[in-house]
């Protein structure tokens, strides 16, 4: 049989990206039992480090086993009851995903939209809240489909004033862009590992405010096979999913350790290592690093005579969109970059498909060498495809950004 032997790609798309080597090592660490005190100790430790990552005091900070959308689904299915109103401001593909997941949970979903490449003003969101009177506002912070970062700092106060639960999907942005769970008054946040946290997909850290937990507790249900005399259930409607029932998952991560799923141990090791890597670097330093390499890549693509996409005032630090020049076959060039240079950059979705490439600089790959290699390789392929530019300008532009920051 063929041995597993993937090519040594450099992943410079919108995620997933190459893992930090120490995260890969952590994943290959031997398993221990689900209730081994060492394992439950690790679970508690993971709760603690993700409180720091999320910048929160929320006790309910834990991992959902599954990719980022598992975190989204757990949050939404656990707070939505059929007919509940949910407001989703959509500025890209992942807003549509929130809408779909909320609809599947039975919500009466209302959306507002801006063109891809733009973000919302707080007033637009408040106006929609006044009109819809939703139970939940669900919004993406960084939508990799458009590379835009929605400012969230004024939304929490609006939600509090109108008694709305405030949920954000920060999968693609956390670790590379500012994020403040408590200061911004969020009730629920979910993320994934495969972007700025520098891990693989497959674990979704979440955090929940006390008022969110209270709501979930009212829907508490205990499986018949493990129910004991001292257990009491909530009066509310049972949560529609067993796997994503946060009332049960909270009891598994809480002091009672009430059995639910078998925690994905290797992914927990991995999520732990991602958080340690980030915290050892320092949250602020990590954001500064993502901004630096994102700026260098932006300057570099301008040097390639490529036009960046969207409102650059609101660009995420860790990904840039660029228009594919007319006359160039975007997918063919991407494939050449992959096969001849072992570098992957991203295609795009929906209205942007075939119009822009997306180039990421995140996690382990937010580095000077990766930025310079990617730019130099793109220059070669674009030049050979007949695109006009000033030779060497892309790397010179990026180096000028580094020089200005003394790197
Ligand atoms: C903002 C955002 N939300 C959700 C997802 C979905 O993540 P997953 O594929 O891990 O389920 C992504 C993936 O790119 C994302 O960028």
User: 143 in ligand 1 pocket by Cβ < 6 Å?
Assistant: yes
Distance 367 CA to ligand 1 centre (A): 23
Distance 59 CA to ligand 1 centre (A): 25
Segments making up each domain of the chain, as ranges: 31-279, 283-404
Query: Tell me, what's the pLDDT at 406?
Result: 75
Q: How far apart are CA 374 and CA 355, in angstroms?
A: 20
Q: Extract long-range pairs of 43-51: CB within 8 Å, 24+ residues apart.
A: 43/253, 43/263, 43/268, 45/272, 46/268, 46/271, 46/272, 46/275, 47/253, 49/272, 49/275, 49/276, 49/279, 50/205, 50/207, 50/271, 50/275, 51/207
User: 169 in ligand 1 pocket by Cβ < 6 Å?
Assistant: yes
Q: How far apart are CA 353 and CA 330, in angstroms?
A: 10
- Compute the Cα dihedral for 346, 349, 351, 353 and give only its sign: positive
Q: How far apart are CA 318 and CA 295, in angstroms?
A: 9
User: 145 in ligand 1 pocket by Cβ < 6 Å?
Assistant: no
Class of domain 31-279: alpha beta
Ligand 1, pocket-test mutation among 143, 172, 195, most atoms within 8 A of CB: 172
User: 144 in ligand 1 pocket by Cβ < 6 Å?
Assistant: yes
CA nearest neighbour of 309 among 269, 358, 346, 271:
358
The answer to whether domain 283-404 has CATH 3.40.50.300 is no
Q: Extract long-range pairs of 288-291: CB within 8 Å, 24+ residues apart.
A: 289/366, 290/175, 290/176, 290/177, 290/196, 290/317, 290/318, 290/361, 290/362, 290/366, 291/317
How much is the pTM?
Answer: 0.97
DSSP SS3 for 359: strand
CA separation (Å) from 145 to 96, 164, 203, 282, 335? 11, 27, 21, 27, 20
User: 176 in ligand 1 pocket by Cβ < 6 Å?
Assistant: no
DSSP SS3 for 58: coil
Distance 93 CA to ligand 1 centre (A): 10
Buried b (16+ CB within 10 A) or exposed e, 370-399: bbbbbbebbbebbeeeebebeeebbbebbb
Distance 16 CA to ligand 1 centre (A): 10
Ligand 1, pocket-test mutation among 63, 69, 175, 177, most atoms within 8 A of CB: 69
Contact 199, 193 (CB under 8 A): yes
Q: Which atom of ligand 1 is nearest to the CA of 144?
A: 16
User: 98 in ligand 1 pocket by Cβ < 6 Å?
Assistant: no
User: 94 in ligand 1 pocket by Cβ < 6 Å?
Assistant: yes
Taking the chain (407 residues) in runs of 10, the rounded mean pLDDT of each run is 94 97 97 96 98 98 98 98 98 98 98 97 98 98 97 98 98 98 98 98 98 96 91 92 97 94 97 98 98 98 98 98 96 98 96 96 98 98 97 98 89
Contact 60, 213 (CB under 8 A): yes
């Amino acid at each position: 049989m063929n041995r597993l032997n993937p090519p040594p790609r450099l992943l410079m798309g919108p995620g997933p990206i190459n893992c930090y080597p120490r995260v890969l090592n952590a994943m290959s660490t031997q398993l221990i039992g689900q209730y081994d005190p060492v394992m439950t100790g690790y679970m508690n430790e993971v709760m603690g480090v993700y409180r720091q990552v999320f910048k929160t005091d929320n006790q309910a900070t834990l991992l959902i086993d599954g990719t980022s959308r598992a975190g989204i689904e757990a949050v939404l299915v656990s707070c939505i009851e059929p007919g509940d109103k949910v407001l989703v401001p959509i500025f890209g593909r992942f807003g549509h995903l929130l809408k779909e997941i909320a609809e599947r949970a039975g919500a009466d979903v209302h959306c507002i939209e801006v063109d891809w490449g733009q973000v919302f003003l707080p007033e637009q969101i408040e106006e929609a809240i006044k009109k819809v009177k939703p139970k939940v506002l669900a919004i993406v912070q960084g939508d990799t489909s458009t590379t835009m970062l929605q400012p969230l700092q004024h939304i929490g106060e609006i939600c509090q004033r109108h008694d709305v639960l405030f949920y954000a999907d920060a999968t693609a942005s956390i670790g590379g862009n500012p994020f403040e769970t408590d200061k911004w008054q969020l009730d629920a946040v979910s993320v994934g590992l495969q972007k700025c946290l520098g891990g693989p997909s497959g674990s979704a850290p979440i955090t929940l405010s006390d008022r969110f937990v209270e709501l979930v507790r009212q829907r508490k249900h205990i499986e018949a096979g493990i129910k004991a005399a001292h257990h009491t259930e909530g009066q509310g409607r049972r949560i529609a999913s067993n796997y994503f029932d946060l009332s049960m998952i909270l009891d598994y991560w809480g002091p009672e350790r009430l059995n639910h799923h078998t925690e994905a141990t290797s992914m927990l090791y991995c999520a732990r290592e991602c958080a340690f890597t980030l915290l050892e670097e320092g949250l602020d330093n990590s954001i500064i690093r993502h901004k630096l390499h994102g700026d260098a890549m932006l300057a570099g693509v301008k040097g390639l005579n490529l036009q960046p996409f969207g409102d650059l005032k609101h660009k995420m630090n860790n990904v840039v969109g660029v228009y594919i020049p007319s006359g160039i076959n975007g997918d063919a060039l991407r494939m050449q970059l992959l096969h001849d240079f072992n570098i992957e950059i991203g295609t795009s979705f929906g209205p942007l498909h075939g119009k822009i490439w997306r180039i990421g600089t995140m996690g382990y790959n937010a580095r000077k060498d990766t930025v310079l290699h990617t730019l130099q390789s793109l220059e070669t392929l674009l030049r050979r495809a007949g695109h006009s530019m000033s030779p060497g300008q892309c790397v010179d532009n990026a180096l000028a950004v580094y020089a200005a920051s003394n790197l």
